Amino acid sequence: MITRKRLGAAVCGLLVTLTGGLSPVAARADTGEPAAKEAPKVELVLDVSGSMRARDVDGQTRMSAAKQAFNEILDAVPDEVRLGIRTLGANYPGKDRKEGCKDTRQLYPVGPLDRTEAKTAVATLTPTGWTPIGPALLGAAEDLEGGDATRRIVLITDGEDTCAPLDPCEVAREIAAKGIHLTIDTLGLMPDAKTQAQLVCIAEATGGTYTSVRHTDELSARVSQLVDRAAKPTITAVPTQGADRCDKAPLLAPGLYTDREVFGEHRWYRVEVLPGKELRASVSVAADRDVNRDYGVLLRASTQAGREIVRGEAAGDGRTDVISTGLRYPKPDIDGADTDTGKPAAETVCLRVSNSFSAPASVKTTPGLPVELSIDVVDGPDEAADTAFLGLGRGWWFLAALLVAGFAAGLLWGWLSRWRVTVWRTN
């Protein structure tokens, strides 16, 4: 006799059979693929010195703004990142410089993140003492030691180091010289000129970035971006040099490129895009020195004849040091092929990077501003839509298949239930 339990098992088996073909095949452990790389490690180093009491960030103290930003940052940390938190100037309130320059400790150990525990630890912090940036960087480097993981320190401070002669810039150079592939990114919270110069030096020593922030949302967005970057495969930027017109421009393959562009200059690059493909490009220009307020960056894609295809633009008003924009250009999948090779003919797309930065007369304009150009060429939107359901079940095909499977299972369940009732009555 068929019981209700067996009927349920039969229906579940049908659902598995109908939907099993739609799921990706599980990867085998014995395929010979290389072992997964160790999880990336990031340590956030937060300045908790007395100057963080200043009330000049969105109507609140710098410390309150940092705590608010940290709550948002911790919520956004990717699960695969091993994150830690170190403080400087958080514990010693006295005037003994020797003791004050030892005031750095690990608030939360580098490892799997317990978001509630980490937020609770940050909530207890009170602006206290000195600004021992050099010792804090040395401590953070030790916290991240071991293994072959991607390692990144994100330093957030509102002032320059107060513990010279241990120069934090020299400390960063020593860390870089060890060849342990550790990057230090720095963020200046309401920085003055001396603080900015020191933080730029620290970042440049290890290939990191410097950003000036004056608002809470800028702080949380930038730190989250840096943590997310650590979670992705490392991409080495390739130096290139744009030209003053398209026909002289370097031909770039998909990748990440760096260049320098003088104030108010146009630089050209070329990319080949095949029919049915989509060009995705983005550019960031860093103001690594004092610039005038109100500036912009433009990324323009055009044909070799000069006709504009698409553009991306962004503007700033002096509150941040990095400004970015991007564009997407899907090349229609049209008939036509190269007469010599028989292959589809590629279109040469001209990319022009322009900026409207200017600087006070006292600021040097050479070398040019750092430019980071990212280029990718992927399947066009139509082709991607046709093949989406073969991957992770995206799109309407997957939903339709689930609907059919559910309908069939319902019919089977109803038929078996009626058959069971008929058998029970005849007996």
CA angle 253, 223, 58 (to 5 degrees): 130
The per-residue pLDDT for 8 is: 45
Q: What is the pLDDT of residue 342?
A: 57
Of residues 106 and 21, more confidence is placed in 106
Q: One-letter amino acid identity for 118?
A: A
Residue 9 has pLDDT above 60, yes or no: no
Q: Which residue has the higher pLDDT, 307 or 418?
A: 307
Query: What does the alpha-carbon distance between residue 98 and residue 208 come to, in Å, rounded to a whole number?
Result: 30
Q: Half-sphere exposure of residue 252, counting CA atoms within 13 Å on the CB side? A: 32
List, in order, residues 6 or more apart from 405 with CB less than 8 Å away.
14, 15, 18, 19
State the average pLDDT for the chain: 81
Rounded Cα distance, 217 and 344, in Å: 46
Give the phi and the psi of residue 233 in degrees, each rounded to 5. -55, 140
Top-tier CATH class for 41-231: alpha beta
- How many Cβ atoms from other residues are within 10 Å of residue 344's Cβ? 17
- What contacts 24+ positions apart, CB below 8 Å, involve 173-176? 173/205, 175/137, 175/138, 175/141, 175/205, 175/206, 176/205, 176/206, 176/207
The residues spanned by each domain of the chain are: 41-231, 245-380
User: Cα(164)–Cα(49) distance, rounded to whole angstroms?
Assistant: 16
CATH architecture observed for domain 245-380: Sandwich (2.60)
pLDDT of residue 24: 39
Could you write out the three-class secondary structure of the chain? CCCHHHHHHHHHHHHHHHHHCCCCCCCCCCCCCCCCCCCCEEEEEEECCHHHHCEEECCEEHHHHHHHHHHHHHHHCCCCCEEEEEEECCCCCCCCHHHHCCCEEEEEEEECCCHHHHHHHHHCCCCCCCCCHHHHHHHHHHHCCCCCCCEEEEEEECCCCCCCCCCHHHHHHHHHHCCCCEEEEEEEECCCHHHHHHHHHHHHHCCCCEEEECCHHHHHHHHHHHHHHHHCCCCCCEECCCECCHHHCCECCCEEEEEEECCCCEEEEEEEECCCEEEEEEEEEECCCCCCCCEEEEEEEECCCCCEEEEEEEEECCCCCEEEEEEEEECCCCCCECCCCCCECCEEEEEEEEECCCCCCCCCCCCCEEEEEEEEEEECHHHHHHHHHHCCCCCHHHHHHHHHHHHHHHHHHHHHHHHHHHHHHHC
User: pLDDT tens, 212-244?
Assistant: 888 998 898 889 888 888 887 556 678 899 999
pLDDT mean over 405-421: 65
For residue 418, pLDDT over 70 is answered with no
193: number of Cβ within 10 Å: 10
Give Dmax (Cα) for the chain: 102
Q: What is the pLDDT at residue 310?
A: 94
Beta bridge partners of 251: 270
Residue 343: pLDDT band (50, 70, 90) is: low
Q: How far apart are the first and last CA of the chain?
A: 11
Q: Bigger pLDDT: 176 or 171? A: 171
Q: What is the mean pLDDT of residues 352-361?
A: 92
Q: Report residue 407's pLDDT band, with 50, 70 and 90 as the boundaries.
A: low
pLDDT of residue 10: 43
Q: What type of residue sits at position 331?
A: K
Residue 197: left if φ>0, alpha if ψ -120 to 50, beta else—which one?
alpha
pLDDT at position 91: 92
